[in-house]
Chains A and B, each alone.
Chain A
């Protein structure tokens, strides 16, 4: 179980060193960066949780805190009772994998090389990947429908293919918790549906716990079992989709009047945005 207890975090200023130093360009060039204020939530094993919120509400920051990439300034994040900051990097990486929003490689690697990077936490410093690692990477590519691309250069792939290969690389870590940061943000409808189906399949067939940050309501409602609604770095509501996503919460979250219905046959919530409410 992944838990956050009363977690706060503010960008800039003095803070505890995390595992990465350059999360955003925003850290180097001062400006408003989303913080997190007194967030508590718990994610059960096997759950499929969406973190919803407008731009700048702190979704990515929360995901990075959950993944142990940032140290909370206050409060704590625990994985099965152990604070994630105290778990050594490699061990944590064998339990929690993270997929960033977009991946731009600084150098060109082949698809199988990118997938094999997921084996990092399983290998010693000077250890080379063995046949077993290559099998696991190939199997991860197969699970994301990218096995046929293995020899292709990553740079030549389409956006949807890239995202699936990066997910495969995270699967090769063999972690049982997968954190996805806006996996469909730059993808067209076809790829969005494809990624949603992939994530649902990974959750169902591999029993992966999935936490996905998104601002795409359709993606969240069709995919997630429960939601965390984040507004200005604080939790607005959390729980099953049907209880958290209401006309009221959407209005408060996005400033948009929306028609929210539960479709009994499809057993899912549908949201039709109607109009923007002018700021009071």
Chain B
């Protein structure tokens, strides 16, 4: 068996290049053909340079957001699956996305207009909603014990998901059709971003989450044994579970605030990567983040071009690819 270092270097190179190619190539592809030379021609003022406007405003923010969201969702998926010791967990299992959705829906229905540092009310409200959900789930998981119970975590998350969905339906029922359509769009998961400010707002959260992710993988490997075995090998189990829970929640919250609840990325990518590189989280986690970025950027290219000039929400593309892929995963198992 090849060492962790070799596998990390080899697969890192492959998926690093893939992610780089996706991010570099995606802004060039779209319903309108643009010329790179003209986009970067500083002789033409930006206001008159249509190619530059398409490149820098219509496409590049979207591509960067896709990469950040893809990396966050895939990384959070890996961490949550390890925390819950359940390969079928997704970044949305613990209610983070439902909380975010409730926040967004309330912002849309109440027509909140205030924006902070260029971040729209919907984005801000969805992040606040995800934090709220995280706080509730965490409080429940701690309430019964001095430690931290992943069983309660899972049950609380699943329950909160359905409860928030019910509240969302209730708000939907009372709001006007235009708001309902806007909400529905948001719930599909869409990277229709035409500015860098939301990305800049999400980046610190993503960075924070990934610093925590870097600390986790070896302990996550041991948690796959079981909590007792991990503790008797010197893992501070409760600490690791807390860090895993909060960091994956922050990553998910940032991703959902940017792109809405884009499904399947957080489950397909980790599964595919485990098939390729094995289960060692020191390899799975970073490679999944790279692969998640590449995958979501590629899906967004499909979303933008498949029915051009209509731009599909990327969540539809990931779900249409992801659903059948997941079924295939289920039946191919031994």
Contacts and interface: CB of A to CB of B under 8 A. Distances in A.
B233 interface: yes
B144 A28 contact: yes
A21 B149 contact: yes
Contacts of A118: 233
Given A14-B146, A117-B221, A151 B1 contact: yes
A199 to B, nearest CB: 17
B224 A106 contact: yes
Contacts of A94: 234
B224 A105 contact: yes
The 7 lowest CB-CB distance pairs between A and B, nearest first, are A21-B147, A93-B234, A98-B232, A121-B234, A106-B85, A90-B234, A107-B279
Nearest to B270: A107
Contact of A89 (B87, B234, B274, B280): B234
B245 to A, nearest CB: 12
Given A22-B150, A106-B82, A69 B224 contact: no
B147 A17 contact: yes
Contacts of B278: 109-110, 113
A25 B231 contact: no
A34 interface: no
B228 A27 contact: no
Nearest to B150: A22
Contacts of A279: none
Interface in B114-146: 144-146
B145 A27 contact: yes
A229 interface: no
A28 B152 contact: yes
Contact of A21 (B85, B86, B241, B279): B241
A100 interface: yes
B218 A120 contact: yes
A109 B4 contact: no
B72 interface: no
Task: Classify the secondary structure of A's interface with B.
Answer: loop
Q: How large is the interface on A (under 10, 10 to 19, 20 to 34, 35 or more residues)?
A: 35 or more
Contacts of B223: 106
Contacts of B149: 21-22, 27-28
Interface in B315-333: none
A179 B231 CA distance: 13
Nearest to A15: B146
Contacts of B4: 128-129
Interface in B33-83: 81-82
Interface in B1-57: 1, 3-5
B138 to A, nearest CB: 13
Contacts of B279: 107-109, 113
B227 A20 contact: yes
B212 interface: no
Contacts of A86: none
A117 B233 contact: yes
Contacts of B282: 128
Contacts of A92: 234
A23 B228 contact: yes
B12 to A, nearest CB: 14
B144 A100 contact: no
B234 A120 contact: yes
B280 A20 contact: no
A23 B237 CA distance: 11
Contacts of B231: 19-20, 69, 89
A131 to B, nearest CB: 9
